[in-house]
A and B are shown apart, each in its own frame.
Chain A
Amino acid sequence: MLGLNKKDFNLLMVVVGLSLFAPFILNIFPKDSAMAFFNGGYPDLMQRFAIFGIFAIGFNILFGLTGYLSFGHAAFLGVGSYAAVWMFKLLGYNVVPGLILSVIVAGLLSVVIGYVSLRRSGIYFSILTLAFAQMMYSIAYSDLFGRWLGITLTNGETGLQVYSNDPQILLGENSPIVPHIFGLEMNARLTLPIGPWEFVFPVGYYFSALFLVLAFYLSIRIFRSPFGLMLRAVKSNNQRMTYTGLNPRPYTLAAFIISGMYAGLAGGLLASMDPLAGAERMYWTESGAVVIMTILGGVGTLIGPVLGAGTIKYMENIISKMNEKLLHEWFGFLPDSLEYSIVWVASWFTGEGWHMTQGVVFMLVIIFLPGGLVEGGQRLAARFGAKSNDTGKTAQPAE
């Protein structure tokens, strides 16, 4: 089906299913219950799951298949966002031109950066990509290009946004004034209350999820293609590859460009959900974050990056919101001394300490589960005697 074998098709269906039912899965706790804090099913976070899933899938095509560790992929995400916002400013809020341009611009940038960086391998490649991305960040943060040209290009640290006096030449009398796809607004949503539950179905999320499914499908096809085979050959043995008459560089460059375009698409989608592009999304730690997502989920696996992106974004958004007051409420039933010691310990890892949790989880995964969550799933499946296959390990929810 769709040019996939049965196993891959099943995996694709799992992703489709997860995407479709995410509003239910992520709102598993009733709205007013104490556990509702852990619900991740609000529009912004669900959109981020999908968008960063796309970003990580693209990154995995480069890192997972060829083994080239880029530390500068956030640059492509950033220029994608800038490109999309510029389209909003010049043409209007329909997201289609923005998304197209964001992919094109990120693609062009990745041709340049990839062409130069791929002349080196190993850590030299990583540092080259890092250097390029940091340059792009500095240029965006102080709007250096804009300054050299005498215009506003990135609007510095405030971020590029749409002003009411922008040209927006395609903006008709009745066009929405928020990003939309042919009139369907990205921030529109349906709310479905069932008993104590409340499920939200945001347009923006389903729009992003559509791209996630497409991106995932494309990545399966690439993994199973002769091209994907060649990329794995690059990672496995570059020497044998050249002595087999193959030129690794166009293969890695193509992978680099594809993953750059994925990142550009993710950036364009981010801007479509929220029409503001900030320079911080190009900072090197953001590039590090996509590496972390990919590894956490399982590098080189199909579903891993999606799981990793979901886990990191969930942690970032939920754990950082656990403040001490909340902790005291939760542990208030305990005797005071116990309550205070638990809260003291927990506060290292929650609220402003969420970076600590991220660091710890990340280290634990690298040390004990080098294959990431996918490997964890496989081990669990093996322990409980289930057949260890690709679908088995995706049966668990995204978080």
Chain B
Amino acid sequence: MSEFILQILNGLDKGSAYALIALGLTLIFGTLGVVNFAHGALFMIGAFCSVTLSRILSASYETVDPTQKDFLGNPLKVKSTYMESWLGPDIGGAIIDWSVPLAILFSIPIMIAVGIAMERGLIKHFYKRPHADQILVTFGLAIILQEIIRGFYGANPIQTPAPEALSSVAQLGGALGLEIVYPAWRMVYFFFALATIGGVFAFLQFTTFGMVVRAGMADRETVGLMGINIDRRFTIMFAIAAVVAGWAGVMYAPINAPNYHMGMDFLVLSFVVVVVGGMGSLPGAVAAGFLLGILESFASWERFKVFDGLDQIIIYLVAIIILLTRPRGLMGKKGVMED
């Protein structure tokens, strides 16, 4: 029983990342009508915001300690961080320790800048081009972004730990009389994802801005005819989608060490998620994200692995079955992306 719950939690956790990425992807698709293959790269950039902030915060100076030797036998250069020497080991250490949560703030201006630069600089020119062109140009961009990150950070994964206080396991299920331990940070990630998704939906539902955008998603021409400058709002939506993808990456960094190709690893999956959810449907994307996350978890669990290798193909198998039985995905709208 407890194992069953654990697998559900695993699924929700994987699903959180899928849902956040797919949400942004769908926002961009729904508003701008652009299929953005560089969205995985935004997720990756987010994760590297965590890496970068933790590097900035732990920037250090070197002092030579003649009592110790380095690997060449020369006196060892000991590194100490500015943060700790300025603010003392307690506060300074705590700030370094909390660099990942702090990166949520740090990433906002970066992701907005990247998002706006992408939209204004490139994607704007592709609104009227065929979807194939959009896919390909953003794919090219994704390659370039990932190469830039590789150039600066190397190809090796970079550990970016969660704050000490959140690195342990959380005891859950005490009330149910079950012994369930689950990594605290993964719980944080799940609730963070829920909050972000809730925030995006609330924003679209309850603000005037959101209402205009939703109207624009439904029928771009009519809204345009009403004299509302929908393009500018869509640019902002692109930036928001970039921030959502970026946050998904920022918070993902402690779960698995970021590397430069993590965006591509998630890209295909998140497209499958979006298509299974139904192109252009926000609730569909979120639901499909969690659904596929849970299915993947259970397929990896031996008890449910009906045949060898099911865990490797489950996502694709499910995608094929859903697309064939529900032509427009779980919640897709008619006429979207069908030409």
Answer whether A and B touch in the complex at a CB cut-off of 8 Å. yes
Given known A-B contacts A139-B309, A147-B308, A127 and B271 have beta carbons under 8 A apart: yes
Given known A-B contacts A122-B131, A127-B271, A348 and B151 have beta carbons under 8 A apart: yes
Query: Which of the 9-residue segments B13-21, B139-147, B169-177 touches chain A?
Result: B139-147
Query: Which of the 9-residue segments B80-88, B219-227, B319-327 touches chain A?
Result: B319-327
Residue contact B312 to A138, C-beta cutoff 8 Å: yes
Given known A-B contacts A123-B279, A362-B136, A134 and B307 have beta carbons under 8 A apart: no
Given known A-B contacts A284-B268, A288-B139, A356-B143, A132 and B320 have beta carbons under 8 A apart: yes
Given known A-B contacts A122-B339, A123-B131, A363-B137, A148 and B308 have beta carbons under 8 A apart: yes
Question: Nearest chain-B residue to A362 (Cβ)?
Answer: B140
Given known A-B contacts A138-B309, A291-B136, A121 and B338 have beta carbons under 8 A apart: yes
Which one of A122, A291, A362, A363 lies within 8 Å of B338 (CB-CB)? Answer: A122
- Check if B42 is an interface residue, CB within 8 A of chain A: no
Residue contact B320 to A128, C-beta cutoff 8 Å: yes
B191 to chain A, nearest CB (A): 30
B332 to chain A, nearest CB (A): 9
Which one of A116, A134, A147, A355 lies within 8 Å of B268 (CB-CB)? Answer: A134
CB contact list, A60-77 vs B, under 8 A: 63, 67, 69
- Check if B35 is an interface residue, CB within 8 A of chain A: yes
B215 to chain A, nearest CB (A): 24
Q: Number of contacting residues on B, CB 8 A?
A: 44
Residue contact A359 to B140, C-beta cutoff 8 Å: yes
- Check if B132 is an interface residue, CB within 8 A of chain A: yes
- Check if A254 is an interface residue, CB within 8 A of chain B: no
Q: Which residues from chain A contact B309 at a C-beta distance below 8 Å?
A: 138-139, 142, 144, 147
What 1/0 mask marks residues of chain A from 116 to 151 whose CB sits below 8 Å from any chain B CB? 100111111011101110110011001010011000
Q: Which residues from chain B contact A124 at a C-beta distance below 8 Å?
A: 275, 279, 323, 327-329, 337-338
Residue contact A366 to B136, C-beta cutoff 8 Å: yes
Question: Nearest chain-B residue to A353 (Cβ)?
Answer: B147
Residue contact A363 to B141, C-beta cutoff 8 Å: yes
Q: Which residues from chain A contact B268 at a C-beta distance below 8 Å?
A: 130, 134, 284
How far, in angstroms, from A362 to B144 measured CA to CA in the complex? 10
Residue contact A131 to B316, C-beta cutoff 8 Å: yes
Question: Nearest chain-B residue to A296 (Cβ)?
Answer: B136
How far, in angstroms, from A352 to B147 measured CA to CA in the complex? 9
What 1/0 mask marks residues of chain B from 281 to 297 whose CB sits below 8 Å from any chain A CB? 00000000000000000
Question: Nearest chain-A residue to B278 (Cβ)?
Answer: A124
A239 to chain B, nearest CB (A): 9
- Check if B165 is an interface residue, CB within 8 A of chain A: no
Question: Nearest chain-A residue to B317 (Cβ)?
Answer: A135
Residue contact A127 to B275, C-beta cutoff 8 Å: yes
- Check if B232 is an interface residue, CB within 8 A of chain A: no
How far, in angstroms, from A291 to B131 measured CA to CA in the complex? 13
Of residues A135, A284, A291, which shows the largest number of chain B Cβ atoms within 10 Å of its Cβ?
A: A135
- Check if A358 is an interface residue, CB within 8 A of chain B: yes
Residue contact B338 to A355, C-beta cutoff 8 Å: no
Residue contact B323 to A370, C-beta cutoff 8 Å: no
Q: Which residues from chain B contact A67 at a C-beta distance below 8 Å?
A: 132
Q: Which residues from chain B contact A132 at a C-beta distance below 8 Å?
A: 316, 320
Which one of A116, A122, A238, A359 lies within 8 Å of B337 (CB-CB)? Answer: A122
Residue contact A366 to B338, C-beta cutoff 8 Å: no
B64 to chain A, nearest CB (A): 29
Which one of B140, B307, B313 lies within 8 Å of A363 (CB-CB)? Answer: B140
B310 to chain A, nearest CB (A): 9
Q: Which residues from chain A contact B240 at a C-beta distance below 8 Å?
A: none
Residue contact A366 to B133, C-beta cutoff 8 Å: yes
Q: Which residues from chain B contact A190 at a C-beta distance below 8 Å?
A: none
A111 to chain B, nearest CB (A): 16
Q: Which residues from chain B contact A134 at a C-beta distance below 8 Å?
A: 268, 313, 316
Given known A-B contacts A116-B320, A148-B308, A353 and B272 have beta carbons under 8 A apart: no
Q: Which residues from chain B contact A142 at a C-beta distance below 8 Å?
A: 309, 312
Question: Nearest chain-A residue to B339 (Cβ)?
Answer: A122
Q: Which residues from chain A contact B144 at a C-beta distance below 8 Å?
A: 356, 359-360, 363
Q: Which residues from chain B contact A121 at a C-beta distance below 8 Å?
A: 338-339
Q: Which residues from chain A contact B279 at a C-beta distance below 8 Å?
A: 123-124
Question: Nearest chain-B residue to A130 (Cβ)?
Answer: B268
Residue contact A356 to B147, C-beta cutoff 8 Å: yes
Question: Nearest chain-B residue to A147 (Cβ)?
Answer: B308
How far, in angstroms, from A269 to B319 measured CA to CA in the complex? 32
How far, in angstroms, from A295 to B139 measured CA to CA in the complex? 13
How far, in angstroms, from A359 to B37 measured CA to CA in the complex? 13
How far, in angstroms, from A67 to B338 measured CA to CA in the complex? 12
How far, in angstroms, from A366 to B148 measured CA to CA in the complex? 20
- Check if B187 is an interface residue, CB within 8 A of chain A: no
How far, in angstroms, from A358 to B143 measured CA to CA in the complex? 8
Q: Which residues from chain B contact A362 at a C-beta distance below 8 Å?
A: 136, 139-140, 143
CB contact list, B27-50 vs A, under 8 A: 35
- B residues with a Cβ closer than 8 A to A are 35, 122, 125, 129, 131-133, 135-137, 139-144, 146-148, 151, 264, 268, 271-272, 275, 279, 307-309, 312-313, 315-317, 319-320, 323-324, 327-329, 337-339
- 6 tightest Cβ-Cβ pairs between the two chains A and B: A359-B143, A363-B140, A131-B316, A144-B309, A138-B312, A356-B147
A sample of 22 cross-chain residue pairs with beta-carbon separation below 8 angstroms, ordered by A number, consists of: A119-B327, A120-B323, A123-B279, A124-B275, A124-B323, A124-B328, A124-B337, A127-B275, A127-B319, A139-B313, A142-B312, A147-B309, A292-B136, A353-B151, A358-B143, A359-B143, A359-B147, A360-B140, A360-B144, A362-B143, A363-B137, A367-B122
